[in-house]
């Protein structure tokens, strides 16, 4: 019989890594037509980081995402970056990008200040323009400022900057300290059906609520969360590298090492909780790794809710669940007998 | 003439696109796919840029197959490299004979560990050989690399390599590897990195508790399974600079490792990472790059290596299996008073990213809860198994499985709602973490309540 169950799990996860400093640098060049080029040493690994970094540069300069071209991942042409690791790209590289864009912007502001007769502190960059914060009608097109900065004032608007997350070294004996600049939080609730005759689990629905600070790009954040859940389902129920007695892998192929496919995916409902991190770029934190962290316990707690067995040894294969159900039934019969 | 054909083709492509509903592109894309506006052009052009559902800069090329991964790159005269891997999990190498292999059809060069200027690498400890020269510590250790005209020829030549081993006792279980009489894999102790977190007095906390919950949780070894296996091409530019194209997620560290293993100044190495087809932590260090650089130097030709799916499993890194002993003391109304955690990470044959993983796992192990008394101890242990390293979550998924399973058990045992016990104990704005860090922007309870609302948790509550 198929028995329904549901389980909840939450988590916390740090942004950036401990052990060593993990800085990022960035270079932003504003072109004569008001578009920009961003140089970053981070690597796009499929998560959409180049898009997000472009959005951060665009936001700082008051232009649109399409106005920023991103050049990445070349040790000769792009500046130092600790890399696409530790869910740090939005937070750490993003801060470097924002600071580099701000430096380029300060050159534009100095030139615009003369053009508009407005103090630089009174200026803002928004909607492809540089304008007075108090009298927005006093404005000039960003492209006009950029070309003037370069060919009249001889000051090409470019900026370079670095960022390293603020941490405090941990005491080696007590582990007390501030190992990470910030943390994100998440909760997932899984609904499953467990067949108590076969031990088979079907994950029907996952509700995922994730905090990532300010969301730079909701579509990409949702994509990360859905992808993380797929990975979490694999870890919860089926994936495992097996070894023979001589230390050789038994299943080093995708025929015998099973990963979830699109057919195994449940209905996923994502909520992104908005928070604001005072250190993050525009309040952003990160989203990459934490997405799969609550998935396994949410599913395992749902299995318990469905059939009353706790599997403490991942993955919770159908065999393990069925054996646990039989064990539980035997124990219950024994209890009845002794009563 | 050619211009007219191009225009005709473009018109044909446009017709095909227009004939098909937006969601059903032709199964085979027209050779010349005309520029069509992005699905949401207005978003990418809007300001402010932050918060917009901007479409990815690379989405069009991914969907049309125009993205060029390493395996799509080719250079004139390029050779292909394959690597012979160990036949034993732990053994001394007595001799390596590549004489016959060199005579095989298509073979241009071979490389062994003793030809590598500095034959070791590693992100924290440089304990891993680029090619094993005198000892193998797991079945994924490479021993001989062969560059040939075709990949098939390189593969066939591997069978002609003769390696003589003297097998050594091996250990595969991390708990057994911690025993004093266990076979030693690198040094006097197989425990190579540890972390301790202490806050309050955990024994006193247990004494004050009404109930104690104890359980051992274990997790498995997992492969990243990126769509694109690890791939790299080495070539020497005419100006004497070494240029590597590599699916490496950390080029700064990658270049430093290359400079070290090859004994080259950093400004003579250029590491270019292309768009990578999935990383998840498995591409955060060098793998074949120094080997290809040396083979390219020997032959004067570009050399490429792309991992097979099997190599991706046996010779890349994997997720640490953990043995986790959790003990938690609570009051009868569900408040957490003390938690002690002991973590043993199966570190595999080489250190890789274990130090970072032990650190993160230990820092996070007690969960996002206000607990006055905490003690966490984590150890990474060498075994003669596949190297475990960086993987999405760095130990956090394993400990979350344990702490959240135990929270559920505590709630059920005390007759509490699992949501309620989390709301009762969860971190709040300004809470101190288990390392004494005052936390800000703490959205834990918001996520709990939002997920609960979305799922209808309260309505179905017990």
Which of B71, B86, B102 is at the close of a domain?
Answer: B71
The rounded distance, in Å, linking the Cα atoms of B282 and B295 is 24
Average pLDDT over residues B58-79: 93
Q: What is the pLDDT of residue A334?
A: 85
Q: Which of B443, B393, B442, B447 is nearest to B419 (CA)?
A: B447
Residues B131-179: tens digit of each pLDDT: 999 999 999 999 999 999 999 999 999 999 999 999 999 999 999 999 9
Q: What is the pLDDT of residue B274?
A: 81
CA distance B5 to chain A (A): 32
**Sole residue written with tokens 């190992």:** A179
The rounded distance, in Å, linking the Cα atoms of B86 and B305 is 18
Q: Does residue A126 surpass a pLDDT of 60?
A: yes
The rounded distance, in Å, linking the Cα atoms of A337 and A331 is 10
pLDDT band at B29 (very low <50, low <70, confident <90, very high): very low
| Chain mean position to CA B297 | 29
Q: Which residue has the higher pLDDT, B47 or B461?
A: B47
- Residue B267 burial (C-beta neighbours within 10 Å; 0-12, 13-18, 19+): exposed
- Residue B428 burial (C-beta neighbours within 10 Å; 0-12, 13-18, 19+): exposed
Q: What is the pLDDT of residue B462?
A: 39
pLDDT band at A114 (very low <50, low <70, confident <90, very high): very high
Residues in chain B with CB shorter than 8 Å from the CB of A300 are 401, 405
Q: Which of A181, A201, A8, A203 is nearest to A87 (CA)?
A: A181
The rounded distance, in Å, linking the Cα atoms of A268 and B268 is 49
Residue B330 bridge partners (DSSP): B211, B336
Average pLDDT over residues B95-121: 98
Q: Which of B220, B451, B457 to mutate to test the interface with A (most CBs of A within 10 A)?
A: B451
Average pLDDT over residues A7-32: 92
The rounded distance, in Å, linking the Cα atoms of B147 and B84 is 12
Kindly list the strands in the beta sheet with A36-40, ordered across the sheet, starting from the edge strand earlier in the chain. A68-72, A36-40, A24-30, A158-163
The rounded distance, in Å, linking the Cα atoms of B318 and B315 is 9
Q: A2 Cβ partners below 8 Å, 6+ apart? A: A193, A194, A195, A196, A202
CA distance readout (Å), B346 to A82, B115, B173, B323, B341: 26, 31, 8, 8, 16
Q: Which of B229, B240, B287, B300 is nearest to B264 (CA)?
A: B240
Residues in chain B with CB shorter than 8 Å from the CB of A299 are none
Domains identified in chain B, total number: 2
Q: What is the DSSP letter of B178?
A: T
Q: What percent of chain A has pLDDT over 90?
A: 93
CA distance readout (Å), B67 to B29, B63, B227, B350: 14, 8, 14, 34
Q: What is the pLDDT of residue B24?
A: 46
The rounded distance, in Å, linking the Cα atoms of A35 and A30 is 6
End-to-end Cα distance, chain B? 76
Q: What is the mean pLDDT of chain A?
A: 96
Average pLDDT over residues A104-124: 98
pLDDT band at B23 (very low <50, low <70, confident <90, very high): very low
Same domain, B205 and B323: yes
- Residue window 195-224, chain A: list those with CB within 8 Å of chain B: 205, 207-211, 213-220
Residues A66-87: tens digit of each pLDDT: 999 999 999 999 999 999 888 9
A73–B251 CB contact, under 8 Å = yes
Q: Which two tokens stand for residue B395?
A: 């130990």
Report if residue B421 sits inside a domain: yes
Residues A149-164: tens digit of each pLDDT: 999 999 999 999 999 9
Q: What is the pLDDT of residue B36?
A: 62
Which of B71, B97, B128 is at the close of a domain?
Answer: B71
Q: What is the DSSP letter of B90?
A: S
Domain hosting residue B14, numbered range: 2-71
A294–B454 CB contact, under 8 Å = no
**Sole residue written with tokens 């049309």:** B64
A12–B385 CB contact, under 8 Å = no
Report if residue B155 sits inside a domain: no
Interface confidence (ipTM) of the complex? 0.96
pLDDT band at B275 (very low <50, low <70, confident <90, very high): confident
Q: What percent of chain A has pLDDT over 70?
A: 99
The rounded distance, in Å, linking the Cα atoms of B454 and B24 is 32
Which of B31, B47, B71 is at the close of a domain?
Answer: B71
Report if residue B40 sits inside a domain: yes
The rounded distance, in Å, linking the Cα atoms of B431 and B449 is 19
Q: Which of B361, B392, B413 to mutate to test the interface with A (most CBs of A within 10 A)?
A: B392
Q: Which of B187, B127, B142, B136 is nearest to B165 (CA)?
A: B136
The rounded distance, in Å, linking the Cα atoms of A61 and B47 is 10
- Residue B221, preceding bond cis, omega within 30 degrees? no
pLDDT band at A320 (very low <50, low <70, confident <90, very high): very high
Among partner residues A54, A84, A213, which is closest to B279 by beta-carbon distance?
A84
A65–B49 CB contact, under 8 Å = yes
Name the phi and psi angles at B242, rounded to 5: -85, 125
Q: Which of A174, A196, A2, A165 is nearest to A94 (CA)?
A: A165
Q: What is the DSSP letter of B439?
A: P
Q: Which residues of A are catalytic?
A: 289
Q: Does residue B14 surpass a pLDDT of 50?
A: yes
pLDDT band at B11 (very low <50, low <70, confident <90, very high): confident
Average pLDDT over residues A212-222: 96
Average pLDDT over residues B280-288: 95
* Alpha-helix runs per DSSP H in chain A: 49-61, 94-116, 142-151, 218-237, 295-307, 318-338
Report if residue B380 sits inside a domain: yes
Average pLDDT over residues A241-249: 98
Residues B308-343: tens digit of each pLDDT: 999 999 999 999 999 999 999 999 999 999 999 999
Q: What is the mean pLDDT of chain B?
A: 93
The CA-CA-CA angle for residues B275, B276, B282, to 5°, reads: 155
Q: B188 Cβ partners below 8 Å, 6+ apart? A: none
A76 interfacial to chain B (CB closer than 8 Å): yes
Q: What is the pLDDT of residue A336?
A: 79
pLDDT band at A16 (very low <50, low <70, confident <90, very high): confident
What CATH number is given to the structural domain containing B208? 3.30.365.10
B396–A13 CB contact, under 8 Å = yes
Q: What is the pLDDT of residue B57?
A: 87
Which domains does chain A carry? 2-14+180-334 (3.30.365.10), 18-163 (3.30.365.10)
CA distance B461 to chain A (A): 10
């Amino acid at each position: 019989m198929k028995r329904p169950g549901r389980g909840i799990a939450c988590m916390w996860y740090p942004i950036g890594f401990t052990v060593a400093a993990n800085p990022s640098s960035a270079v932003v060049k504003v072109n004569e037509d008001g578009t920009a080029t961003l140089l970053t040493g981070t690597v796009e690994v499929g998560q959409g980081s180049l898009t997000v970094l472009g959005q951060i540069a665009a936001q700082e300069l008051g232009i649109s995402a399409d106005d920023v071209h991103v050049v990445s991942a070349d040790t000769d042409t792009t500046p130092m970056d600790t890399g696409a690791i530790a869910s740090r790209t939005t937070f750490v590289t993003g801060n470097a990008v924002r600071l580099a864009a701000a430096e380029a912007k300060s050159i534009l502001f100095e030139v615009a200040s003369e053009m508009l007769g407005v103090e630089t502190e009174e200026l803002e960059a928004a909607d492809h323009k540089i304008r007075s914060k108090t009298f927005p009608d006093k404005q000039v097109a960003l492209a006009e400022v950029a070309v003037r900065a370069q060919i009249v004032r001889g000051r090409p608007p470019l900026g370079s900057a670095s960022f390293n997350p603020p941490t405090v070294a941990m005491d080696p004996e007590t582990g007390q300290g501030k190992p990470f600049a910030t943390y994100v939080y998440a909760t997932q609730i899984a609904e499953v059906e467990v067949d108590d005759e076969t031990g088979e689990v079907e994950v029907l629905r996952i509700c995922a609520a994730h905090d990532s600070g300010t969301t730079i790009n909701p579509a990409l954040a949702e994509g990360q969360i859905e992808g993380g859940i797929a990975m979490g389902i694999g870890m919860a129920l089926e994936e495992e590298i097996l070894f023979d007695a001589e230390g050789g892998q038994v299943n080093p192929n995708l025929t015998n090492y099973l990963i979830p496919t699109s057919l195994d995916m449940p209905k996923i409902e994502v909520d992104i909780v908005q928070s604001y991190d005072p250190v993050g770029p525009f309040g952003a934190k990160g989203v990459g790794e934490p997405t799969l962290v609550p998935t396994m316990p949410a599913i395992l707690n749902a299995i318990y809710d469905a059939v009353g067995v706790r599997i403490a040894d991942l993955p919770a294969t159908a065999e393990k669940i069925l054996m646990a159900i039989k064990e539980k039934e035997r124990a219950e019969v024994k209890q009845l007998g002794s009563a | 003439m050619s211009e007219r054909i191009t225009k005709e083709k473009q018109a044909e492509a446009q017709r095909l696109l227009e004939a098909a509903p937006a969601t059903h592109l032709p199964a085979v894309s027209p050779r010349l796919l005309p520029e069509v506006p992005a699905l949401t052009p207005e978003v990418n052009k809007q300001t402010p840029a932050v918060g917009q559902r901007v479409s990815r800069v690379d989405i069009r090329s991914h969907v049309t197959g125009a993205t060029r991964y390493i395996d799509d790159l080719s250079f004139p005269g390029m050779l292909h490299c394959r690597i012979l891997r160990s036949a034993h999990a732990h053994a001394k190498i007595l001799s390596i004979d590549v004489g016959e292999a060199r005579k095989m059809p298509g073979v241009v060069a071979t490389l062994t560990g003793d030809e590598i200027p500095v034959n070791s690498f590693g992100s924290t400890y440089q304990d891993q050989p680029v090619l094993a020269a005198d000892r193998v510590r797991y079945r994924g250790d490479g021993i001989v690399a062969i560059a040939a005209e075709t990949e098939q020829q390189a593969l066939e030549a591997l069978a002609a390599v003769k390696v003589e081993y003297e097998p050594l006792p091996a250990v595969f279980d991390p708990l057994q590897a911690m025993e004093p009489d266990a076979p030693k894999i690198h040094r006097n102790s197989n425990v190579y990195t540890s972390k301790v977190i202490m806050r309050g007095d955990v024994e006193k906390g247990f004494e004050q508790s009404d109930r104690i919950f104890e359980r051992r949780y274990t997790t498995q070894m997992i492969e990243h399974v990126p769509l694109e296996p690890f791939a790299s091409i080495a070539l020497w530019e005419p100006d004497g600079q070494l240029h590597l194209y590599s699916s490496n997620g950390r080029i700064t560290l990658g270049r430093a490792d290359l400079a070290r293993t090859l004994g080259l100044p950093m400004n003579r190495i250029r590491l270019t990472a292309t768009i990578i087809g999935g990383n998840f932590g498995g591409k955060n260090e060098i793998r074949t790059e120094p080997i290809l650089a040396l083979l390219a130097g020997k032959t004067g030709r570009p050399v490429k290596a792309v991992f097979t799916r099997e190599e991706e499993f046996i010779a890349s890194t994997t997720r640490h299996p953990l043995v986790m002993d959790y003990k938690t003391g609570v009051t009868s109304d569900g408040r957490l008073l003390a938690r002690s955690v002991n973590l043993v990470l199966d570190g595999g044959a080489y250190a890789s990213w274990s130090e970072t993983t032990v650190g993160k796992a230990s820092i996070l192990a007690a969960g996002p809860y206000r607990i006055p008394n905490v003690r966490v101890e984590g150890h990474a242990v060498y075994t003669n198994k596949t190297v475990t390293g960086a993987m999405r979550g760095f130990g956090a998924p394993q400990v979350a499985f344990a702490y959240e399973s135990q929270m559920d058990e505590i709630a059920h045992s005390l007759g509490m709602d699992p949501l309620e016990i989390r709301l009762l104990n969860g971190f709040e704005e300004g809470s101190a973490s288990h390392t004494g860090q005052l936390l800000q922007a703490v959205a834990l309870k918001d996520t709990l309540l939002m997920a609960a609302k979305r799922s209808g948790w309260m309505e179905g509550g017990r």
